[in-house]
Structure 1
């Protein structure tokens, strides 16, 4: 039986196996598009999941990348975000895939990540999983929150504990500007004493957005804040 690749729309043939006679996991992408999703493998930064094998030596500090070393060296940010885990490299294929998903409204592309997210989240222990919210302006432009939609495809109910004010994209700012930026998030629930929080977003780029959210959650009493992202930029 054939279905069609969500990305390139060519027919995808379901493999015929003994297991498939009793259980069949849907194939959302063809083999070629699956190859475009480059998993982060081998040695990676213990804080942000960045591949250390691809980094020049001057950008490493032991088991962490230089960016994370600088974050943890700053007393205002040390220990705020315990760890980020990312699945894929933010390569050209995934950039185009996520741009089509987020900015051109191809909502169904989220389905390709649902099973993997569900399998990864199943054994994890946390009190709340919080998708990074969009500002009202961005939500109106796109029509949906891309991070919340990905969690819904994984059959996970997110906690909407954060709201976000409108601001310029972090990637357009210098590191100094990002560090000095005022808090862009606010809490809808003020008491998280002793709780374990998992933040979720589609891409980890500079780490500023996740850390700002984590800082607010820690100030509200959260014991630990970690994050999970599809891609490490």
Structure 2
């Protein structure tokens, strides 16, 4: 059976051996070229948000933390709200185009392209609930699916809906300050999460505003800790 790359649609050619003949194919849906283009995060990163220090000028680093996270931590309103963010890739031009196809052009099947990388990351994370960042009803209707929930499902996990979201202007149209200081857009669903460890799932971490606002609602609802996993760190 011919298998085509989910990103470039070229046929995936794999070497045939006794092991491949007698074992089931892995859930890998990318060709070697596209896999090679994925900008995996490597080397030193911010201990809080996973931002690669290799892409950051020295003046924007304080010890093992980037200055963005230092600002979050120094604000009494946000200190201790989001325990840590984990990211898999940097948000370069290749990933930006791929995620645009996925989110804004309805290419749902691209969620499967990231399945093996999400599974591998989740092996080392402990959590009680895996929670997708919700879309507002208007945005969900517009896109047709929640991209964060799709990533969870395609990786073989069940998303737990703990939040609902009000409609607001797209985050991509807001400045950094507008994202950080916007009004709360989430509210909790009536589910008991007392002392639970919550792992939020989203596609991109940029300023961290979306994840911090979601984490604040969950912490106020009784969660013991709130972490996040994002595909990309912008």
Q: 1:28-76: CA deviations, max 9, x gaps? A: 1111111221100000001111101221111111111110110001111
* C-alpha spacing 1:210/1:39, structure 2 compared with 1 (3 Å): same
**How far apart, in 2, do the equivalents of 1:72 and 1:170 lie?**
22
Alignment of 1:1-233 (within 5 A): 2-23=2-23, 24-189=25-190, 191-233=192-234
Q: Tell which deviates more after alignment, 200-209 or 177-186.
A: 177-186
Q: CA deviation at 1:124?
A: 2.8
- Given that residues 197 and 226 in structure 1 are in contact (C-alpha distance below 8 angstroms), is that contact kept between their aligned partners in structure 2? yes
Q: Tell which deviates more after alignment, 69-78 or 177-186.
A: 177-186
- Given that residues 4 and 12 in structure 2 are in contact (C-alpha distance below 8 angstroms), is that contact kept between their aligned partners in structure 1? yes
* C-alpha spacing 1:173/1:102, structure 2 compared with 1 (3 Å): closer
* C-alpha spacing 1:165/1:72, structure 2 compared with 1 (3 Å): same
Q: TM-score, normalised by structure 2?
A: 0.94
Give SS of 2:80's match. coil
**How far apart, in 2, do the equivalents of 1:7 and 1:154 lie?**
17
Residue segments in structure 1 that go unaligned for 5+ positions in a row = none
Root mean square deviation, CA, Å: 1.5
Give SS of 1:13's match. coil
Give SS of 1:3's match. coil
* C-alpha spacing 1:168/1:203, structure 2 compared with 1 (3 Å): same
- Given that residues 2 and 14 in structure 1 are in contact (C-alpha distance below 8 angstroms), is that contact kept between their aligned partners in structure 2? no
Q: CA deviation at 1:190?
A: 5.1
Q: Tell which deviates more after alignment, 26-35 or 63-72.
A: 26-35
Residue segments in structure 2 that go unaligned for 5+ positions in a row = none
**How far apart, in 2, do the equivalents of 1:180 and 1:95 lie?**
25
- Runs (4 or more) in structure 1 with deviation over 4 Å come to none
**How far apart, in 1, do the equivalents of 2:101 and 2:84 lie?**
28
Q: 1:128-161: CA deviations, max 9, x gaps? A: 1100000111101100001101111101001011
Q: CA deviation at 1:120?
A: 2.2
* C-alpha spacing 1:32/1:197, structure 2 compared with 1 (3 Å): same
**How far apart, in 2, do the equivalents of 1:45 and 1:230 lie?**
16
* C-alpha spacing 1:221/1:26, structure 2 compared with 1 (3 Å): closer
